[in-house]
Chain A
Amino acid sequence: GAGVSQSPSNKVTEKGKDVELRCDPISGHTALYWYRQSLGQGLEFLIYFQGNSAPDKSGLPSDRFSAERTGGSVSTLTIQRTQQEDSAVYLCASSPDGEVNSPLHFGNGTRLTVT
């Protein structure tokens, strides 16, 4: 079946512009995660959605970052007034139930470059 789909795969934007990154999780997966992968930094947790519960936003680095998940499926990560330090690969992952023993299924990521 289809895996986690992210779009666009690459995004180049000018400093100060807003960007939206999209994630389509695996159908039926109730949990959705956003991570940021920077060179040499590993994966940094950003936000977690589980069903209809309030999202865990504890990893968002600043108030310029926000995310929503509509209808329990597609998610959009929005970065306002982008800065050069926002350049990274943004990864989306989903899991069937959000349980801590459930592996994550990752998309291929969106590579964001802020010039």
Chain B
Amino acid sequence: AQSVTQLDSQVPVFEEAPVELRCNYSSSVSVYLFWYVQYPNQGLQLLLKYLSGSTLVESINGFEAEFNKSQTSFHLRKPSVHISDTAEYFCAVSFISHMRFGAGTRLTVKP
């Protein structure tokens, strides 16, 4: 069965520090991978996606994620976070009929 695991439920960091939010998945078939972000009191928004091609994908606000097939991971990274990055981040795997989400990681950026 396919599943998505986000290893950290909460990640507190200081502003301008690097951050990595971890995501692992299990699947016996090829998958498409996504990261969504939910800012406080808002709906989920697509942050970035891996469909094929280059295993490193980037978002417009400085986040990047790397698809690692051998480790079945799709970790999200940012070299220097801002206060405005405070949000909940969801890793998602899409296969067959619908998207399956991880439990989410709450990123809190402190001044």
Contacts and interface: CB of A to CB of B under 8 A. Distances in A.
Interface of A: 4, 33, 35, 40-43, 45, 48, 50, 56, 59, 91, 93, 98, 100-101, 103-104, 106-109
Nearest to B48: A103
Interface of B: 6, 9, 32, 34, 36, 42-46, 49, 51, 90, 94-104
A48 B100 CA distance: 12
Contacts of A103: 34, 46, 49
B98 A33 contact: yes
Contacts of A93: 44
Contacts of A107: 43
Contact of B42 (A33, A42, A108): A108
B51 A91 contact: no
Contacts of A108: 42-43
Given A101-B32, A103-B49, A43 B43 contact: no
Most chain B C-beta atoms within 10 Å of own C-beta, residue among A48, A59, A100: A100
